[in-house]
Amino acid sequence: MTTNHHDRFFKKMFTGQDLARDFLANYLPAGVLGQLDLTSLETTTKSFVDDQLKEHFSDIVYRVNIKQSREAYVCILLEHKSYQDRLVPLQLFRYMNQMWSYIISQPPAPEYLPVIIPLVFYHGTTTWAGSTRFSSLFDATAELRRYLPDFDYLLLDLSTMADEDIKGDVKTRMTLLLQKHINDPELVSKLADVATLYHEISADPDQIECLKAMAQYLIFTDKLTKDEITVFLDRATSGRGGEIMPTVVEEYIEEGYQKGAREAVIEGIEIRFGQVPSEVIESISRLSDTMILKSLLKQAFVSRNLDEFIQELKKSKN
């Protein structure tokens, strides 16, 4: 399955419980927040996106207690498509049904089904125009609507938000600002605002990981040159960009290598370049030399396009 680099970045930032709580505290409606105990929040490792849904979404699933002591789930669905799809409520209905089916299959089965709160996260360049109500898909009289299932989903559409209206912890704001402007022709100038935000937390050396994740995201999206990314890191860290940039690359390689060399190379080129020809995947799958695989993992990160990577792959086989 191809991993969407936008989703990978969002998940990297918001699977941690502290930032997840901050995100939900700022973007769930007040009435919903009043029902939830965010101190009980846990990020689960389970996904309910099946093969049919994976072209539409990826997900993060949070388990949280309702204040009446029952469990609920908040699911962030990261929208993949760059176009408006009126069938999103139907896709969410399938997703929620799969989740409930899984829950009741795990003993002991609950007396009641848990509440699922779906939140669609969208950062496309056009405003989301579809209805957020499932019943909008039906053309039915009031008399017949009583036989239809119905629910609303929450929507966070970054395209409708002014930068100053993006709320939350510094890292939450940095993440959402970067995702909002990732396709903006003025991305370089917008990054100056992200770098300025980083100054608020730069005294804590642990926060550099947040900045490295952003640099990786910028590399994967191929929106900027390496020099432009280094300038962004310079602005954020008072001139340390040239020192940080090589570690961004090396840490990606090491992280991927620990997953399994062949799988990491394949995942890396899918993240960078999207759909990859099957013959390329087969060629990588036949390699066993660990040094060659480690070199190719680096190429998955630094190659400017798929053709350049394929040329390096051919060289490695000689």
Phi, psi of 119 (to 5 degrees): -125, 120
Strands 57-66 and 71-79: antiparallel
pLDDT of the chain along its 318 residues, tens only? 344 788 889 999 999 999 999 999 999 999 999 999 999 999 999 999 998 898 888 999 999 999 877 899 999 999 877 667 889 999 999 999 999 999 999 999 899 999 999 999 999 888 998 899 999 999 999 999 999 999 999 999 999 999 999 999 999 999 999 999 999 999 999 999 999 999 999 888 888 999 999 998 998 787 888 899 999 999 999 888 888 888 887 776 666 555 577 887 887 888 788 778 888 888 888 888 878 888 888 888 788 889 999 998 988 876
Integer Cα distance of 271 and 207 in angstroms: 25
Integer Cα distance of 140 and 120 in angstroms: 26
Q: Could you give the strand order of the β-sheet that contains 71-79, starting from the edge strand earlier in sequence?
A: 36-43, 57-66, 71-79, 115-122, 154-157
pTM > 0.85: yes or no: no
Integer Cα distance of 197 and 31 in angstroms: 30
Integer Cα distance of 105 and 75 in angstroms: 19
Query: Could you state, in order of their start, the residue ranges of all structural domains in the chain?
Result: 5-160, 260-316
Q: Where are the alpha helices (DSSP H) in 3-153?
A: 5-14, 17-27, 30-33, 88-105, 142-145
